[in-house]
A and B are shown apart, each in its own frame.
Chain A
Amino acid sequence: RKEVEQDPGPFNVPEGATVAFNCTYSNSASQSFFWYRQDCRKEPKLLMSVYSSGNEDGRFTAQLNRASQYISLLIRDSKLSDSATYLCVVIYTGGFKTIFGAGTRLFVKA
């Protein structure tokens, strides 16, 4: 079993749709959680940090459930520009072990 698992997709949605991604992690000794966005052949860029209390940034909402060891990302009112790969990232406590999920590909179509 992979340490961080994501549904690879692809997710094909129309503009204006709401789409949700989930990510599960296997090691409970983790301290930090993030969603990154990666455009084709480009470097990953931070989309959001993820907190247990949940956090929202415009159309994006991220949630962490430590008890169930999963992280979610909700995108509302999808735009064409949201088309990208979304990477779930977990950093483990006490070191610098960073684990990336393989990514979920999103296509938003007009």
Chain B
Amino acid sequence: NAGVTQTPKFQVLKTGQSMTLQCAQDMNHEYMSWYRQDPGMGLRLIHYSVGAGITDQGEVPNGYNVSRSTTEDFPLRLLSAAPSQTSVYFCASSRGSRGQDTDTQYFGPGTRLTVL
């Protein structure tokens, strides 16, 4: 199994550009989520999905859209990039959210995004 994969690894955008960060998992996990990590702030939840066709907002959703058309894929779209969105983005998946055993999250390698 490849686990959780993310592309691209690095990206530089200009203010106002849009782009999609890709995330895929091959573990048949129900839950997928996107986080951003900024220095000194830990990881913050952007959006999450509890299954195909179901998404919801996390702590910092503004400026981002998601969709979940399949179990495997969970892309994150930046609608109009801003310098404040410069960050490292991690995608994660887990089997579910019904207790300790299913809550364990597995992370992709991250996308390092710079917005100029």
Contacts and interface: CB of A to CB of B under 8 A. Distances in A.
Interface string A12-54: 0000000000000000000111100000011111100101000
Interface in A69-98: 87, 89, 91, 95-98
B99 interface: yes
Contacts of A43: 90, 107-110
B104 A49 contact: yes
Contacts of B41: 102
B91 to A, nearest CB: 9
Interface string B68-95: 0000000000000000000010100000
Interface residues of A, number: 25
Interface string B40-65: 11111100101000001010000000
Most interface-central of B33, B40, B44, B107 (chain A CB within 10 A)? B107
Nearest to B112: A41
Given A44-B90, A49-B100, A96 B42 contact: no
Nearest to A6: B42
Interface of A: 4, 8, 31-34, 41-46, 49, 51, 87, 89, 91, 95-98, 100-103
14 contacts: A31-B103, A33-B100, A42-B109, A44-B107, A46-B104, A49-B101, A49-B104, A95-B97, A96-B31, A96-B33, A96-B97, A97-B45, A97-B58, A98-B33
